[in-house]
């Protein structure tokens, strides 16, 4: 696949899975052995089942989630996407009850695509900013 095909695949992944909540679509575009790496060491999610569970947790907490692709570049088998997500917190997340708060979070994902399938992903997002918006962590400068 060309780099443009790879970028289109990731755009479709964002639209179907994150914006529409169609988690089954991940199975169409990903290897069953897809490994997703999170913000910190040890946050690896081995296998498509783990990735789908992660997606389900966030889509349950933020059912109206919408990701916007801000920038996207590709070289070889890698696609880098900078995104912004907006959503309303209407479900539980990490033991924190729903807040009804509207949040905005940004992040960057790097996807490796081989033979038209996602085989690996590295991602980072503003988890601290998310927790500050939801309330468990006060915004910087607001600590007592």
What residue ranges define each of the domains in the chain, with the CATH number in brackets? 3-126 (3.10.450.50)
Longest dimension (CA), the chain: 54
pLDDT of residue 144: 53
Contact in structure between 96 and 10 (CB atoms under 8 Å):
no
- First vs last C-alpha separation in the chain: 54
Q: Are strands 30-37 and 117-125 parallel, antiparallel or unpaired?
A: parallel
For the chain (144 residues), the mean pLDDT of every run of 10, in chain order, is 96 96 91 87 83 89 96 98 97 88 97 96 93 84 59
Can you read off the two tokens belonging to residue 28?
A: 């169409």
In angstroms, what CA-CA distances link 72 with 69, 108, 119?
7, 10, 18
Which positions ≥6 away from 115 have C-beta within 8 Å? 1
| pTM for the full predicted model | 0.89
């Amino acid at each position: 696949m060309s780099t443009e095909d790879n970028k289109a695949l990731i755009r479709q992944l964002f639209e179907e899975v994150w914006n529409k909540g169609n988690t089954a679509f991940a199975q169409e575009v990903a290897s069953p052995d897809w490994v997703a790496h999170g913000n910190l060491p040890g946050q690896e999610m081995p296998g498509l089942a783990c990735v789908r569970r992660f997606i389900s947790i966030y889509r349950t907490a933020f059912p109206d989630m919408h990701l916007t692709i801000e920038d996207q570049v590709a070289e070889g088998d890698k696609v880098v996407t900078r995104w912004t997500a907006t959503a309303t917190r209407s479900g539980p997340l990490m033991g924190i009850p729903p807040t009804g708060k509207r949040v905005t979070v940004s992040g960057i994902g790097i996807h490796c695509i081989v033979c038209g399938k996602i085989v690996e992903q590295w991602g980072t997002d503003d988890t601290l900013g998310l927790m500050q918006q939801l309330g468990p962590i006060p915004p910087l400068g607001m600590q007592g």
